[in-house]
Chains A and B, each alone.
Chain A
Amino acid sequence: MVHLELNKICKGFDHPVIDRLSLKVDKGEFFVIVGPSGIGKTTLLRCIAGLEKLDEGEIFIEGDNVTNVPPYNRNVAMTFESYALYPHMTVFENIANPLKALKKEDSLIRSRVYEIAELLHIDGLLERKPHEISGGQKQRTALGRTLAAHPRVFLLDEPISHLDAKIRAELRTQFHTLEALREVSTVYVTHDYAEALSLGDRIGVMGNGGLVQIGTAHEIYEKPNSLFVAQHLGQPSINSLEIDLIEEAEKPSAIAGSLKLPVDLNHWEHLKRKNITKCTLGIRPQFVKVVNGDQSSEDNSLELNGMVEVYEALGAYGVMITSVVGQKLTVLTDPEDKYDHDENIIIRIDPSTFNYFDLNNGVNLIP
């Protein structure tokens, strides 16, 4: 059942920011919008909230056309990137504010605030003022304020991006388990692709005034419809090389400078049908493997010699920039491995993991 619907909405300031964007979000769905900063994600949320007037288009919530309804009558809740807690009110009063707006009874307000505070583990802080609590606690208070009055739509603007990695992980788990968010529809905005993949029932990648791709986490990560999506989702970013495609003796290859890579036959079928001779080749860093001596070679994969340029061992993985026949490739490795600058290594690539994108518009050439 469609709960929130955006129909060809447009919004611009000096230049168009949102251009004929349409979106349908179902009841109970957690929809994440991800995109680079400055692309208009916050503007989109503000349009849904009613804080910005649309230039064109319509917005429906539960079938009601709310395009011209002012924000205080929309029954939509939003958290701000800056939290926007009222500095002169205690945590209790902040959370109670939307309930007071509805002129609820005092006893009812108190029980609801306690209920929410317990849910978000801030019940010990209710008498504090916002400047007396930590960033994570502020975030929880802001979230509590949005949950308090049972709104029809939740809008969350970068709710956890200013916090430390540890608290971020903790709050992500909280979003996974918070049943209140599953009762109505939620639109969540972030620039962090991992957050988006983790949380979204569906994810929309925003770029150029609209949603470039909409799909589940696995769909958009594994089958990006364009180079833009592939580059934005993933860290380190996908390797992209400009290549020429040639076919010699039934064997198709991709040529970048003096590096020659085989092309998977299934991919070649599509590329050949479209008469592509030049395109951008995308290889995810985790699909390039460093060979450690005794591992047996798999059928389809190819081994190449490379040289380590820079290597950094992070916590969960290591990242290496290696030079392979004049081309630079980023490689994801096991963090326990150790590589020296200028060390010679052998890498293994499986051509079936390759992506091919149009040189001009970046569209993924393999359907």
Chain B
Amino acid sequence: MTESNIKLIKIILLAFLLVWIVFTLFPLYFQLITSLKPVAEINAMVPTFWPETFRPGNYLGIFADPGSLKSLMDSLIVSISNTILSLLLGTLAGYALARYLKGIVGENLAFWILSNRMFPPVAVIIPMFFLFDATPWGTDSYVSLILLYLVFNLPLATWLMMVFFRDAPRELEEASYLDGYTPLKTFFKITLPLVFPGMISVAMLCWIFAWNEYLFANLLTGTTVKTFPVHIPSFTQGSQTLWNLVMAFSMVAMIPPVGMFIILRRYMVRGLSLGVVKG
């Protein structure tokens, strides 16, 4: 392969990448400009790709409805509580699976736990509804929604944490035993810091699932608790959907996950064990 050939391939690949970026970013761009348009312009037959009239006021308009702010708060309560619980239980279970349940039993158990993620969630909607209806909290409550999301997040968290713990060098724990720490203290002092980047990644995944979930939230809750995905369809005027407000609200709802990702990214990309063993 000659030098010029390599250059040509580079250019072709870059061009492909450019097309791909435009393709993926366009919906986001369209969402942004729609959120800034007046209703009339949205409904125009020929869509505009740059707003003819800017309406930044849309962003204030969404908060005229007090339900908007409450739905964001509800979403935060549910997703944060769920993330904390998933991480706590998933970390402990993952450690147990990684260190104490080896061999056929451990492998099967771990796989069975993950298999909970494999059935389509819709399949369990009806049983779940009756199940939570029978609890003291009823269906329309924070507790129910948090517990329900655990059903989906916990297997993933457990599985991923198990993988991270397996990658953490066993020798560091053994060194700590010999330093005089009991297994429990070693877990908190040595092992957890090692899998910390993994925990951040798991937390992000759990949080994003709980933040964006619509199907179950719509069916189980709606009055006492109303998360933001359930709140979005309420931006209507008669039979007309106010797309500019829907888009503006969606933009606002995107801020927490994007912001969090930017803040936590540096923890996620850091390697697991940073040259622990040898040099």
Contact = CB atoms under 8 A, between A and B. Distances in A.
Interface of A: 49-51, 70-78, 80, 82-88, 97-98, 101-102, 129-131, 134-135, 138, 145, 149, 162
Nearest to B186: A72
Nearest to A49: B178
Interface of B: 169, 171-172, 174-183, 185, 190, 193-194, 196, 273-279
Contact of B175 (A80, A134, A138): A80
Most buried by A among B171, B177, B275: B177
Given A80-B175, A82-B169, A134-B279, A87 B274 contact: yes
A134 B274 CA distance: 14
Nearest to A98: B179
B40 to A, nearest CB: 58
A251 to B, nearest CB: 58
A72 B273 contact: no
Most buried by B among A71, A83, A98, A134: A71
A154 B115 CA distance: 47
Contacts, number: 85
B278 A83 contact: yes
A177 to B, nearest CB: 25
Nearest to A133: B279
A88 B182 contact: no
Contacts of A149: 179-180
A82 B178 contact: no
Contacts of A134: 279
B187 to A, nearest CB: 13
B261 to A, nearest CB: 23
Given A84-B169, A84-B175, A162 B278 contact: yes
Nearest to A97: B179
B175 A72 contact: no
B179 A138 contact: no
B181 A80 contact: no
Contact of A87 (B176, B183, B194): B194
Contact of B171 (A72, A77, A82): A82
Contacts of A101: 179-181, 185
B269 to A, nearest CB: 16
Interface SS of A by simple majority: loop
A83 B193 CA distance: 18
Contact of B178 (A76, A86, A88, A130): A76
A71 to B, nearest CB: 4
Nearest to A75: B180
A72 B181 contact: yes
Closest 3 CB pairs of A and B: A101-B180, A131-B275, A98-B179
Contacts of B279: 131, 134-135, 138
A74 B177 CA distance: 10
Most buried by B among A51, A102, A129: A51
A102 B178 CA distance: 12
B172 A84 contact: yes
Nearest to A82: B277
Given A70-B177, A86-B193, 18 more contacts: A71-B174, A72-B180, A75-B180, A76-B178, A77-B179, A84-B174, A85-B276, A86-B190, A87-B194, A88-B196, A88-B274, A98-B180, A101-B179, A101-B181, A129-B274, A130-B275, A130-B276, A134-B279
A74 B185 CA distance: 16
A84 B171 contact: yes
Contacts of B275: 87, 130-131
A145 B178 CA distance: 10
Given A83-B277, A130-B275, A131-B274, A78 B190 contact: no
B198 to A, nearest CB: 13
Contacts of A76: 178
B176 A88 contact: no
B182 A72 contact: yes
Contacts of A73: 180
A121 B171 CA distance: 25
Given A84-B276, A130-B276, A51 B182 contact: no
B176 A97 contact: yes
Nearest to A103: B180
A199 B196 CA distance: 41
Contact of B180 (A84, A102, A129): A102
A82 B171 CA distance: 8
Contacts of A130: 275-276
A86 B171 CA distance: 10
Contacts of B171: 80, 82, 84
